[in-house]
Structure 1
Amino acid sequence: MLNFPNIPEVECEFLGLILDNPPSINEVADRVPENAFQNELTRAVWREMLTLARGGTRVSIGILRERVKLDLQKFGIPDLTSFLGTCLDRAAGDVSLSDLADLMAEQALLDGLATAVRQAQERINKGQETGESVAASLRTNLDALLNSSRATDTISFADAARRFAENVNRSFQKGKPIGTDWGLRPLDNIAGMITPGDLIILGGPSGHGKSALAHQICMHIASREPVLQIQAEMSQEAIAAREILARTGVDHSVIESGGMQQAEIEAICGAALDFDGLPYELCYTGDMRLSRIRTRIESFRHRMGGKCGLVVVDTIKHVDPEDKNARSPVDKVIASAKGLAKISAETGVPILALAQVKEQYFERQTADFYLNDLYGGGDLRELADIILLIHQPFRKQANIPVRGAQDAAKLASMKEEWDGVAEAKCVKRRRGKLGNCKLKFDGPRTRFSDPDDDNQEGLGL
């Protein structure tokens, strides 16, 4: 790796992170001013990167090599390719692109303030102007600095109201609702529509179907808009296998035992072909850092022409919030939820994050399920737009002690009411009333359906 002693390391790392994932420049393009770059070369590279991005051209080392016109010898650099390659090599640090952008923008603001104050002091020392004149000039300079550093997500209330009205009018003209339905009428009734920028928490015990429900929602939305699933538990093939076997009705045990029939093979191969062209991508990774999740979303949306109907993160406990102060499991979940909420709000992409339950759910000697059973439950209420809880009450039968005929009668009643049925509860909803509902669960096919609709085959079919 080459060394360039006269060029700030942070600027090299910043450029390298963008070269590593070019679509990520859209995240920071309006947050980092040119004067944040102390070196003429990095400033020139950043200027050309912005020009390319705003013109719709993908940033690359090859294109930058042709566009940056500087005498590289004075920087001690043999050629631009080796310099940009070194920047790329240095992009493996622990600091995210977003954090670097904030650091550079903040430093640029501080440098600008220091310069303005120094210039005002020099004018006072010369004694050629009145104090009022110097103060007025200083205020003008300070206002210009603060306005130039104002975040692009800060707009007037009037602009926000106008944007909302335009969105509603656009929806009316097209005859389409704002947002996307869940694909199951009971969920639509208790949780409303999924809208751009929502952070949705779907919590439930392991084995009760939350991952299966999340996948069904993905399949439903992918029929209209691109969907991305990021997770560290199931391989891509395992997720696809679950969907194919659900569609064909082939039992996985037949595959494991080698007892497949020709008709079953043909059904599986035919079902696999049905997904050609489906805009649904699966990311199986052990790198669940918040910064990587964001760049994956930006990259996916870039590939899909700016569209993304939903991102699923399975599960939030695997997310690395990149916050050194978050040490306990609860703290990490809360910090991760804050980060995901920020990503969904700033990108306009709805994010569905799966959440696990604490042991207190299993220890409770009833079939009740509460928000506080989730890690970070109370804090999640403040961060999320929608929180759904899903579980199968009858699956808790083994955890509920039987101490006589009365308890046995209660369990029998529970079996009659909940066997093969899941309970979904909406415990947080920014837009509308809360509620709960029942969903029919087909275990062999890992499908949920509306128990009041016998003709409904479930999502994605």
Structure 2
Amino acid sequence: MTRLANVRAEEAVIGKIIGSADAYWEIAGILSAEHFTVPHYRDIFLAVANCCQSGRSLSLSLLEATLPEEWEGVGSREAVLLVLIEKAQDVSSATDFVDALLTAWRERERIAIGRIASQQGKSFEETRAAIEDRLRAVDDADRAKHAVSIGEAADTALRKAGEAYQSRGRRAIGITTGIAEIDKAIGPLTGGTLVTIAARSGHGKSALTSQILRHAAAPSLDPSQVHASLFLSFEMSREQNGYRNLASMTGISVRRQRTGDFTEKDYEALLQARRQLDAMPIHILDRGAMTAKQYAAECRAAHRRYGVRLFVLDHLRIVQPERDGWNDIKTIEHASMTNKDLAKELDAVFIQLAQITKEGQKSATNWRFKDSEIYGGGGLKEASDVILGVSVPTEWLKQNQPEPPSEANPRGREPFDEWCKNMENWRDKAEVAPLKVRDGSSGGWKTIGFDGVRMLFGDVDHADVPF
């Protein structure tokens, strides 16, 4: 049975750091006062920390000046400090006892969470919120927060580069979209990355992310390439998501599915697609609009329960303000920073969907847009590691169809013929643009394949439709 306290570990750590700033800094980013159960050990730890962090030289006399003269029932500060130093004489390093100290602390936190869960007189939602808050506090306290040297950072990068080299040609490192043109521009996506996918309304950004999720979660002989995901669907219900995924995989439209307008062969295709989806660890949350704090708690829970490493938020305009008086821009900027922090905290990829400003939506000159036309302010762009623009030219053309030629419009022939030509030229095509790539370079708009019936992007002749 795990012990709730390890006093020997506590006194060993405290004894080593009393007279050594170097010993303190070795454990400073891992331990805090709350990890100790003995009250006067907490006092001593805080005194050492204040001394070291203020830049003063650590000395016994300086510590004595900041501590109480006596701890009731324990003894004088001089005697206590000398005894602790003596007991730590045979300790080679304070770090040797860190794991034991943290194990006892985690057990105490587990019991505290159990007490919260068993409290009477609270609703389920209140209890859940209290547990999530406690778990967040545990995560913050249990995560190494100390700065690292540039050499340590380079060591981590080199190790991952070595892994990428060893697996080159055999498996991808990180999460890919499965769309060659997009992966070449922005991928692979590694943990800590925030991706913003921006498009006009109706230009397939939800369909594109669903396609990415299916690719990332598809069964594979290499389990490391199967990525569990959470789709925060603020706009569509889980049923609508189900219809759309089945339509994309089979070519049987949502309307035909709803009305039963399909054959037995079609139904077999739907069943097969459903079985494939059932094997994919894709989770959908359609609770409706939430604040960033609320959905962040759901993301952490999904990370713990299902091992989720890929999150999608659809979409930023529907996120609720955290505080009264916040406008849309402030809310979106706050949500973007929250999503970036979540990506780093959970070592995950976070994809957020963004819309275009009203001015950009009304553009009558071209379907392409600039990053300055993405709705969300400068905070969205600063937080994003990747910004991917998506556009379906035929959708824009439909919305900007010129008046057909007629007796009342005799000069309409030329613009209408040009429009018809463009509709034909852009059939089965979409465009994407890496408007920002933090670790690479942004680029112009590129043409890719697009199957409008199935809402599939990329080389649809070789799309990963699993049957």
Alignment TM-score > 0.5, same fold: yes
In structure 2, what is the equivalent of residue 162 of structure 1? 155
2:356 corresponds to 1:357: yes
Amino acid at match of 1:264: D
| 8 A Cα contact 1:216 1:459, kept in partner | no
In structure 1, what is the equivalent of residue 449 of structure 2? 440
In structure 2, what is the equivalent of residue 97 of structure 1? 133
CA distance in 1, matches of 2:109, 2:451: 46
| 8 A Cα contact 2:132 2:297, kept in partner | no
In structure 2, what is the equivalent of residue 407 of structure 1? 415
In structure 1, what is the equivalent of residue 406 of structure 2? none
Change (3 A) 1:32 1:82: farther
CA distance in 2, matches of 1:263, 1:58: 55
Of 166, 182, 186, the residue aligned with 2:181 is: 186
In structure 2, what is the equivalent of residue 208 of structure 1? 203
CA distance in 2, matches of 1:416, 1:89: 54
| 8 A Cα contact 1:203 1:357, kept in partner | yes
CA distance in 1, matches of 2:350, 2:305: 18
CA distance in 2, matches of 1:250, 1:314: 24
Amino acid at match of 2:427: D
Change (3 A) 1:33 1:407: farther
In structure 2, what is the equivalent of residue 313 of structure 1? 313
Change (3 A) 1:268 1:151: closer
SS of the aligned residue for 2:462 comes to coil
CA distance in 2, matches of 1:161, 1:60: 39
In structure 1, what is the equivalent of residue 435 of structure 2? 427
Amino acid at match of 1:438: T
| 8 A Cα contact 1:52 1:59, kept in partner | no
CA distance in 2, matches of 1:220, 1:421: 20
Amino acid at match of 1:449: G
In structure 2, what is the equivalent of residue 373 of structure 1? 373
| 8 A Cα contact 2:202 2:395, kept in partner | no
Give runs of aligned pairs for residues 48-447 of structure 1, distance below 5 A: 51=103, 54=106, 59=110, 64=114, 97=133, 101=137, 152=145, 154-175=147-168, 176-223=171-218, 224-304=226-306, 307-320=307-320, 322-324=322-324, 327-367=326-366, 368-397=368-397, 398-399=399-400, 401=402, 404-435=412-443, 436-447=445-456
Of 448, 455, 458, the residue aligned with 2:461 is: 455
Amino acid at match of 1:247: M
Change (3 A) 1:92 1:277: closer
Amino acid at match of 1:399: N
| 8 A Cα contact 1:228 1:310, kept in partner | yes
Change (3 A) 1:98 1:359: farther
How many residues end up aligned between the 2 structures? 361
Change (3 A) 1:432 1:206: same
SS of the aligned residue for 2:151 comes to helix
In structure 1, what is the equivalent of residue 45 of structure 2? none
Amino acid at match of 2:400: N
Shift of 1:355: 0.6
Amino acid at match of 2:454: R
Amino acid at match of 2:396: K
| 8 A Cα contact 1:192 1:432, kept in partner | no
In structure 2, what is the equivalent of residue 136 of structure 1? none
| 8 A Cα contact 2:430 2:450, kept in partner | yes
Amino acid at match of 2:358: E
- Per-residue displacement from partner, 1:363-413 (whole Å, max 9, x unpaired)? 222113221221125442221000011111232233365675553354244
Amino acid at match of 2:314: D
Shift of 1:155: 2.5
Shift of 1:287: 4.9
SS of the aligned residue for 2:390 comes to strand
Identity of paired residues, percent?
26
Shift of 1:82: 5.9
| 8 A Cα contact 1:49 1:59, kept in partner | no
In structure 1, stretches of 5+ residues that fail to align are: 1-28, 40-47, 66-79, 106-147
CA distance in 2, matches of 1:308, 1:100: 17
Change (3 A) 1:272 1:52: farther
SS of the aligned residue for 2:279 comes to coil
Segment drifting more, 152-161 vs 185-194: 152-161
| 8 A Cα contact 2:386 2:434, kept in partner | yes
Shift of 1:321: 5.3
Amino acid at match of 1:426: P
Change (3 A) 1:429 1:289: same
Change (3 A) 1:311 1:32: farther
Shift of 1:89: 7.5
CA distance in 2, matches of 1:426, 1:301: 28
Change (3 A) 1:438 1:94: farther
Change (3 A) 1:412 1:332: same
Shift of 1:457: 2.6
Normalised by the length of structure 1, the TM-score is: 0.67
- Per-residue displacement from partner, 1:228-270 (whole Å, max 9, x unpaired)? 1112111112212222233333344334334443333333223
